Amino acid sequence: MSNVTAKTSANVFYKARCEAATHNEQLSSREGAADIMSIDRGRLYRIESGIANPYPEEIRLMADFLGISQSAVGNWEQNHRKPDIEMIIRLAEYFGVTLDDLVLRDLRPPIPRYSGNIRYLRLSHGITQEQMGELLGLKNKSSQSLIEAGKSGISVENLEKLADFFGVTLDQLVKQDLSKEQ
C-alpha cells in the first residue's frame, strides 16, 4: 500500500487536483473531484495512483494545448522524462497554478478542515492549548498544537467532545469553515 501511496503523491494528476483544491474545496476529496470531473471515483484513484492511464482523449487534449506529442505527456506521467522550463511554464498555465506551486510547493493534501476549526473555536473562546488538552485528555500542549496544525489526527470521541463543548455539530466541525460563518 505504501508503494501505491508514494506513486499517488508523485502523480501529475494527483498534484494538480491537490493544488486546485486550494481554490475549490470540492476537489479536496476524490469523491468531490470525481463528481466535478464526471468520472468514476475508482477510475480517478487508479489514474492518480498510476494503476491506470488517462484515456487517450485526456492526453490528446493536454498535448494539443501544449503543442507537443502525446508520447511526451506519457513520458512525464511515467517519470521517464522531465519537461524543460518553457514547458513547465505552459504546464502551469494549463493547470491554472503558479510555477512555484507546480515546481517548488509540496502538494500534500490540505490540512483537515477540523484542524483549523479547532484552532478557530479555541481562540475565539479564549481557551489556551493547555486547557484544550485537559478537556480532551491529551498528554501535553504540543499534542494540541499538532492537531491544530493538521500534523496529528484526533479521535472521533474527542471531535464529539469538542462539538458538544463549542455547541456545533460534528458536520460543522469537520466540513465547514467556521471562521467564515461568524
Res. 95: pLDDT tops 70: no
pLDDT at 58 (0 to 100): 62
Q: Give the residue from 104, 133, 168 where a domain finishes.
A: 104
- Do 138 and 121 fall into the same domain? yes
Domain boundary among 70, 104, 138: 104
CB 11 within 8 A of CB 77: yes
Angle at 173 between CA 171 and CA 176, to 5 degrees: 75
Average pLDDT for the chain: 77
98 and 24 part of one domain = yes
Q: Which of 29-33, 53-57, 61-65, 157-161 has the highest mean pLDDT?
A: 157-161
104, 136, 160 - which closes a domain? 104
For residues 100 and 127, state if they share a domain: no
Both 12 and 87 in one domain: the answer is yes
Q: Is there a single domain that holds both residue 73 and residue 133? A: no
How many structural domains is the chain composed of?
2
Quickly state the pLDDT bin for 104 (edges 50, 70, 90): low
pLDDT in tens, 8-45: 666 777 777 777 777 777 777 777 777 766 666 776 77
Per-residue burial over 116-149, b if 16 or more Cβ lie within 10 Å, else e, is bbbbbbbeeeebebeebbeebebeeeebbbebbe
- Note down the domain range covering 18: 2-104
Q: Do 67 and 148 have their domain in common?
A: no
Which helix H or strand E contains 141, and what residues bound it?
Answer: helix 141-148
Interior CA angle at 52 toward 54 and 14, to 5°? 70
Q: Are 102 and 92 in contact (CB under 8 A)?
A: yes
Confidence of residue 69 (pLDDT cuts 50, 70, 90): confident
Q: Is residue 69 domain-shared with residue 138, that is, in the same domain?
A: no
Total Cβ atoms within 10 A of residue 181: 10
Q: What pLDDT is attached to residue 2?
A: 42
Q: Could you tell me the pLDDT band of residue 1, with boundaries at 50, 70 and 90?
A: very low
What is the enclosing helix (H) or strand (E) of 85? helix 85-95
